[in-house]
Amino acid sequence: MFDTIGFYFFAGLAVISAVLVVTRRNAVHSAIFLITALLATAGIFLQLHAEFLFIVQVILYVGGIMVLFVFVIMLVNLDVAIHQMQFNRMWLVALLLTIALGAQVYMVFHYAHAGMTEPLFHLQPARASDLEPNTELIGATLFSQYMLPFEIASILLLVAMIGAVVMAKRKV
Amino acid sequence: MLNSLYEFFKPHLLPLLFALVIVALLPLVAGYVVLLERKVMADMQARLGPMRVGPHGLLQPIADALKLLIKEDIIPENADKWIFWLAPLTSVAAAMLAMAAIPFGPFFQIADLNIGLLFILGIGSMGLFGIVLGGWASNSHYSLLGALRSAAQLVSYETAAGMAIVSGVLLGGTLSTRGLVEAQASGHVWFIFVAPVGFFIYLVASIAETNRAPFDLPEAESELVAGYMTEYSGFRWALYFLGEYANMIVVASIATTLFLGGWLRPFSSWHKADFLDYFPMLLMLLVAGYSLYRAPKQPVAVQKIFMVAVAGLCFLLAVVLGLPQFAPAGSAFVAMKPGVHGAFWFLLKVGVYLYLFLWLRFTFPRFRFDQLMKVGWHLLIPVSIVNVFGIGVALYLHRSPEQGGYGWGMISSVGVTTLFTLLIAAWLLKKHEQAPATPAAEKF
Amino acid sequence: MLSITHYLVLSLALFTIGVIGVVTRRNVIIILMSIELILNAVNINLVAFSRLFGDAAGQAFAIFIITDAAAEAAVGLGIIISFFRNRETVLADEMDLLKW
């Protein structure tokens, strides 16, 4: 029962925060609502028994990326921005994209039988103990099966770090 | 129906009780840490500190809290009201939430998470938002600049602290806080003796993390007024202060759990040292005796009574700590011993770590901001990375040949890698000294 | 009681809101934030399926996505700061230097 309550609570929080992110006029308010949306996503991970991912999301996304966002918003804060128009005129395109995405996901549900004996939404989830102990399993997977992407990700971070430092310097 | 509801909540009642106790006691404890700081500061400056309010100033925190509560609540004119309200809350909430995974004793933990240590680190890093949003919401240039400086400092030292924690976790083999203390128990050695460089890096990084001197440029009184806290008055300022001291306690608890053996007695597995079990009781009796001795010398009758009450409380604690020693074996009192003694040793070690903080505050002058950032990025982070590498090599050397290692003893493997790390640190320091002095940083 | 459907619908909702944010807003920083929402929706999807099939690879891949998002946010915000220093604007339709 806790599972269901937890899911609905975090899901509701995530969706409401996401709506508020894209509709606020003030960028700092948007950032704060993005923080709550990210924390709600972390809650969903926790509810899915993915505890390592929960804490990685909190440390990296909320404690790292959002701090970066908040810094930049405060550096480029313009007082005139509050009175400018916030939305452009592409709302029709957005509506069409929404309909297209919804139709695609509906198709997935309706026609996803390929290779499986039951439709998608009847599948039973695997036992939670398959993913325990979570941290050790993810560590073992990352360092044995996915070692190459891991190294590439670290080189990517190095490149991004150097690039961001060079771009943000005043005099190169 | 009521019975089934009770059955459903029963496993959660004890953690809930602990959570209530922590939330209720934390402001009081933080207030008394402030008093302790003032007394220690006075002692190091050859004076007495607060002496008037209550005997020896023991009621000073209560007077301070009352004063802050009745002050006027000022919000700057163009400040963002909602964020102004939210920022101190975030700071305090992050610090209090991080207390959920701290093992105060073998049976006094709210939640023994699998990822306990990472949880404390992650939630502690959310206190950053309290600072940044507070500085921004004050709608003042100096507050914003102070907040950005403080946030930059926190972020820089978080990496070094994380790497130091990683070196401890490598030794413990688990992220769970309870598992780490049990690893130190089964290994018969506290991790500070196996990873001393890691402990030192964590000490320095945690001082910078909590904005304490000598890294307290963002909130020192002679710089930028009070940084991000400038526009906060009354209770909101008290919340920031509470958050800062709660953060200090959290950081001290992490260091105690990871490096200082958590709730373990010194020499916990050496039975010849069992006389150390009498130490908690003797300490409390000493404090009670001293309070009783000072009671007649108080000027006012109320203070005399308060001193006797303090003595009575310490005596009660001494009785609680001493009962398991003298009670017949097998009774309920002896079963209490690991819990009660464990909590005592944990709090003593946290107290020692906090005393280190206070001692360093009143001994060293402040770092200038660019010096601070240089130490963080150019010295601490490389040394902490080399330290992680060194601990990994030490573990590899220490493992028995069946497991693929070399089977060296603990002392030689740890000694070699610590020596290597210290050499690298010395080389970095030398390079640091030889670098020409840079002009003060442009933007920050 | 909770099936994979719930998580997929949640993921779709977040994805859609992110897409609407990217397409409709003028402020480039909020566009970047909506991209983060999209990445999070994908993460929820991955972790839900990882739980469904009991495979840790989904969560490992989610970690890669988080790492990627960090790198992209850093570089993107660096670009925004550079552009802001030159042009004093963060609105997407005013960034039209390359238009003829």
**pLDDT at residue C4 greater than cutoff 90:** no
The pLDDT assigned to B369 comes to 86
Contacts A–B by Cβ distance under 8 A: 59
Chain A residue numbers with beta carbons less than 8 Å from the beta carbon of B119 are 55
Interchain contact B155–A (C-beta under 8 A): yes
The pLDDT assigned to B120 comes to 93
- pLDDT exceeding 90 applies to what percent of chain B? 39
Chain A residue numbers with beta carbons less than 8 Å from the beta carbon of C85 are 170
Q: Which residue has the higher pLDDT, B339 or C71?
A: C71
Of A130-134, B67-71, B187-191, B252-256, give the range with the top mean pLDDT: B252-256
Please report which confidence band the pLDDT of residue B21 belongs to, taking 50, 70 and 90 as the band edges. Answer: very high
Task: Enumerate residues 18 to 77 of chain A having a beta carbon within 8 A of any beta carbon in chain C.
Answer: 18-19, 21-22, 27, 30-31, 34, 37-38, 41, 44-45, 48-50, 52-53, 56-57, 60-61, 64-65, 68-69, 72-73, 75-76
**First CA to last CA across chain A, in angstroms?**
58
Taking the CA atoms of residue B51, residue B57, residue B63 and residue B67 in that order, the dihedral angle to the nearest 10 degrees is 50
Mean pLDDT for B79-102 is 90
The pLDDT assigned to C90 comes to 83
The pLDDT assigned to A120 comes to 63
All residues at 6 or more sequence positions from A118 whose CB lies less than 8 Å from its CB, including other chains: none
- Give the CATH number for residue C49: 1.10.287.3510
Mean pLDDT estimate for chain A: 86
Please report which confidence band the pLDDT of residue B215 belongs to, taking 50, 70 and 90 as the band edges. Answer: confident
The pLDDT assigned to A82 comes to 64
Residue of B nearest to A77 (CA): B136
**First CA to last CA across chain B, in angstroms?**
62
User: What does the pLDDT look like over B381-416, one tens digit per residue?
Assistant: 999 999 999 999 988 888 877 777 777 878 888 888
The number of residues making up chain C comes to 100
Distance separating alpha carbons of residues B224 and B215, to the nearest angstrom: 14
Residue of A nearest to B126 (CA): A63
φ/ψ (deg, to 5) at B68: -65, -30
**pLDDT at residue A118 greater than cutoff 70:** no
Distance separating alpha carbons of residues B159 and A111, to the nearest angstrom: 48
Mean pLDDT for B313-329 is 84
Helix, strand, coil distribution of chain A in percent, nearest 5: 80, 0, 20
Which residue in this structure is represented by tokens 């909770």?
Answer: C2
All residues at 6 or more sequence positions from A47 whose CB lies less than 8 Å from its CB, including other chains: A3, A6, A7, A10
Q: Which residue has the higher pLDDT, B422 or B332?
A: B422
**What does pTM read for this prediction?**
0.91
Q: Which residue has the higher pLDDT, B267 or A100?
A: A100
Please report which confidence band the pLDDT of residue B94 belongs to, taking 50, 70 and 90 as the band edges. Answer: very high
ipTM of the complex: 0.93
Please report which confidence band the pLDDT of residue B257 belongs to, taking 50, 70 and 90 as the band edges. Answer: very high
E strand or H helix that includes residue B9: helix B2-44
User: What does the pLDDT look like over A49-91, one tens digit per residue?
Assistant: 899 999 999 999 999 999 999 999 988 876 666 667 777 788 8
Domain that holds residue C52: 26-90
User: What does the pLDDT look like over B287-311, one tens digit per residue?
Assistant: 999 888 888 888 888 888 888 988 9
**pLDDT at residue A115 greater than cutoff 80:** no
Overall number of domains in chain C = 1
Residue C85 lies in a domain: yes
Question: Are there at least 3 beta-carbon pairs closer than 8 Å between C and B?
Answer: no
Please report which confidence band the pLDDT of residue A168 belongs to, taking 50, 70 and 90 as the band edges. Answer: confident
Mean pLDDT estimate for chain C: 90
Interchain contact A102–C (C-beta under 8 A): yes
**pLDDT at residue B440 greater than cutoff 60:** no
The pLDDT assigned to B403 comes to 76
- pLDDT exceeding 70 applies to what percent of chain B? 96
Q: Which long-range contacts (CB under 8 A, 24 or more apart) does A132-138 make?
A: A132/A49, A133/B114, A134/A49, A134/A50, A134/A51, A134/A52, A134/B114, A134/B115, A134/C56, A134/C59, A135/A51, A135/A52, A135/B114, A135/B115, A135/B175, A137/C56, A138/A52, A138/A53, A138/C56, A138/C59, A138/C60, A138/C63
Please report which confidence band the pLDDT of residue B224 belongs to, taking 50, 70 and 90 as the band edges. Answer: low
Distance separating alpha carbons of residues C74 and A118, to the nearest angstrom: 43
* Cβ proximity of C45 and A41 under 8 Å: no
Mean pLDDT for C19-23 is 93
**pLDDT at residue A132 greater than cutoff 80:** no
Task: Suggest the residue from A19, A25, A72, A151 to mutate for an interface test with chain C (most C CBs closer than 10 A).
Answer: A72
User: What does the pLDDT look like over B96-117, one tens digit per residue?
Assistant: 999 999 998 888 888 888 898 9
The pLDDT assigned to B221 comes to 60
The pLDDT assigned to B354 comes to 94
Cβ neighbour number for residue B444 with a 10 Å cutoff: 12
Residue C43 lies in a domain: yes
Mean pLDDT for B45-71 is 88
Residue of A nearest to C32 (CA): A69
For A3, the 3-state DSSP assignment is helix
Please report which confidence band the pLDDT of residue C88 belongs to, taking 50, 70 and 90 as the band edges. Answer: confident
Mean pLDDT for A138-158 is 93
Range of lowest pLDDT (A99-108, A161-170, B384-393, B402-411): B402-411
The pLDDT assigned to C21 comes to 93
**pLDDT at residue B444 greater than cutoff 60:** no
Please report which confidence band the pLDDT of residue C99 belongs to, taking 50, 70 and 90 as the band edges. Answer: confident
Of A151-160, B47-56, B414-423, give the range with the top mean pLDDT: A151-160
The pLDDT assigned to A114 comes to 57
Residue of A nearest to C5 (CA): A121
Chain C residue numbers with beta carbons less than 8 Å from the beta carbon of A159 are 71
Interchain contact A78–C (C-beta under 8 A): yes
**pLDDT at residue B443 greater than cutoff 70:** no
Please report which confidence band the pLDDT of residue C75 belongs to, taking 50, 70 and 90 as the band edges. Answer: very high
Distance separating alpha carbons of residues B69 and C71, to the nearest angstrom: 45
- Inspect the interface and report whether the beta carbons of A72 and C54 lie closer than 8 Å: no
Please report which confidence band the pLDDT of residue B219 belongs to, taking 50, 70 and 90 as the band edges. Answer: confident
Chain A residue numbers with beta carbons less than 8 Å from the beta carbon of B158 are 63
- Inspect the interface and report whether the beta carbons of B114 and A74 lie closer than 8 Å: no
* Cβ proximity of A17 and A30 under 8 Å: no
Residue B247's nearest CA partner among B127, B347, B343, B139 is B127
Mean pLDDT estimate for chain B: 87
Range of lowest pLDDT (A53-57, B86-90, B187-191, B251-255): B187-191
E strand or H helix that includes residue A147: helix A147-168
Task: Enumerate residues 6 to 65 of chain C having a beta carbon within 8 A of any beta carbon in chain A.
Answer: 6-10, 12-21, 23-27, 29-30, 32-34, 36-37, 40, 43-44, 47-48, 50-54, 56-57, 59-64
Q: Which CATH class is domain A1-85?
A: mainly alpha
Distance separating alpha carbons of residues A133 and B114, to the nearest angstrom: 8
